[in-house]
Structures are given as structure tokens and as C-alpha cells.
Amino acid sequence: MRGTTGRESQESGGQTLAPGLYLVGTPIGNLEDITLRALRILRSVNLVMAEDTRRTRKLLSHFDIHVRLVSCHRFNEVQRAQRVEKEVERGRAVALVTDSGMPGVSDPGSRVAAECRLAGVPVTVVPGPCAVLAALVLSGEGGGAFFFAGFLPRKAARRRAELQKLLSMEYP
């Protein structure tokens, strides 16, 4: 298995991507926060798998990107990993995006990436905006260690229980 952040290759007359899975970071609020590399990848892949196809279609349309789009969420990640394997066997590149931020960070994608790596599919991370790092920088406390416990539960009782658990932990 190869994991990389730079497997893209260029051929004369245009760009082509090596077959594999590309985990592409997307904007977390402002569409202009997308990276040039993410746009190039999204324009070059054969298929985009998205947490919410409606939101991703809006992103793709904004940048005039026309590509096949299918859903990928927590209930179909194993099946989508199998689809990636088949696409790669055919020499195709597949991008995986979430509604905002990085696939696999409190969003679908980690299972797809893990299954693909186990199957020997090359997986490439295309970094992008990150809500956790944006919050850390904004806090002014970014000079030292920090702990990310994921997003809190939506229901009040579960959220309180999780906060109590976190308060009882010892941090470095």
C-alpha cells in the first residue's frame, strides 16, 4: 500500500491522475477557501463520492466542474470502498469529499480509506481547510499541545455526559 500526498502526474497535452482514491478537503464556510490543488484533482478524477451530493453539486457547479457524483455516507462506506477498488482496477481516479473539511475527520471517509488501503489501493490526501485548526488559531492558544475529542453529541443529556467525561481526563 502506498499513501502519499503527491502521486499526480502530468502528461503532455493535459493532466492525468494516477488511479487511486483522493481524499479532498473542501471549504468549511467560504467556497473561496478551496485549494488550487483540490480544484485540479476534482476536475481530473473520473468519479466523486460525496457525503451529501446536493452540497457537493453546489461546490462543483460554482467552479464549473462536471464529473460523475455518487453518495458516500456512514451507511454505505464499505460498499463505496468496493466501488473504489473496481474503479481503480479500471485505471480510474476517485475523489472522496465531505460537506466541509477533510474526509475522515468527524465525517465519512475513514472507513473507505482504511478498506482501500487494506485492498492495496493507493490513497492520497489533498489537504484543505480544517475547522479544528481554524478554531485553535482563533483561540490564541495554538502555541502548545492541544486535544481534539471530536464533535460533541447533539442531544443535551449525551453532550453533558461527554463533557463530564472530558473534564475528568488528565491532559498533558
pLDDT one digit per residue (tens) for the chain, 172 residues? 344 444 555 432 346 899 999 999 999 989 999 999 999 999 999 999 999 999 999 999 999 999 999 999 889 989 999 999 999 999 999 999 999 888 888 778 899 999 999 999 999 999 998 888 888 888 888 777 788 888 889 999 999 999 999 989 887 5
Residue 115 lies in a domain: yes
Give the model's pLDDT for residue 13.
Answer: 34
In the prediction, which pLDDT does 169 show?
A: 86
Give me the pLDDT at residue 143, please: 73
Is 57 part of any domain?
A: yes
- 25 inside domain: yes
* Contact assessment for residue 81 and residue 111, using Cβ atoms and an 8 Å cutoff: yes
Q: Per the structure block, which three cell numbers stand in for 123?
A: 490513497
Considering the domain boundaries, does residue 30 fall inside one?
yes
- CATH no. for residue 79? 3.40.1010.10
Q: What is the DSSP code (8-state) at residue 151?
A: P
Task: Judge whether 51 lies within some domain.
Answer: yes
Which pLDDT does position 7 carry in this prediction?
Answer: 53
Asked if residue 145 is part of any domain, the answer here is no
Cell for 31?
467556497
Has this prediction a pTM greater than 0.75? yes
In whole angstroms, how far apart are CA 4 and each of 7, 82, 116, 124, 171?
6, 20, 13, 5, 31
In a domain, 46, yes or no: yes
Residue 28 lies in a domain: yes
Which residues neighbour 153 within 8 Å (Cβ) at sequence distance 6 or greater?
A: 159, 162
| Number of compact structural domains in the chain | 1
Domain carrying residue 73? 3-132
Are the C-beta atoms of 33 and 127 separated by less than 8 Å? no
